[in-house]
Amino acid sequence: MGVAVMISAYVIPGVSVSGFWVAIIAAVILSIMNFVIKPILVLFTLPINIMTLGLFTFIINAVMVLLVSSIVPGFVVSGLLSAILFSVILSIVNGFLGMISE
């Protein structure tokens, strides 16, 4: 997943990663936060998520990315739009890399 973070940061202009180890640390922390905090946020925002037909999940993913960017030094995300684009590109790259590795 560190490679996916590096590729996604290279593609999105508002995201920068200072090195490969920073990308690995950001990927690990993002995975842990997605496992622990994201389900709680999805549960609390379920009514708005239902009203937007699931599109609010993009905002939740962006918030997770922004939280990781505030925790990990060397991983910088400039704003909400960059975080949304980063999470979408990260999902696409992860899917592609998963397909290749099988």
Query: Is the pLDDT at 81 greater than 90, yes or no?
Result: yes
Mean pLDDT confidence for 61-81 = 95
Q: How many CA atoms lie within 13 A of 10 on its CB side?
A: 10
Q: Summarize pLDDT for 19-66 with one digit per residue, the tens.
A: 999 999 999 999 999 999 999 999 999 999 999 999 999 999 999 999
CA atoms within 13 A of residue 42's CA, in its CB half-sphere = 14
Q: State mean pLDDT over 81-94.
A: 93
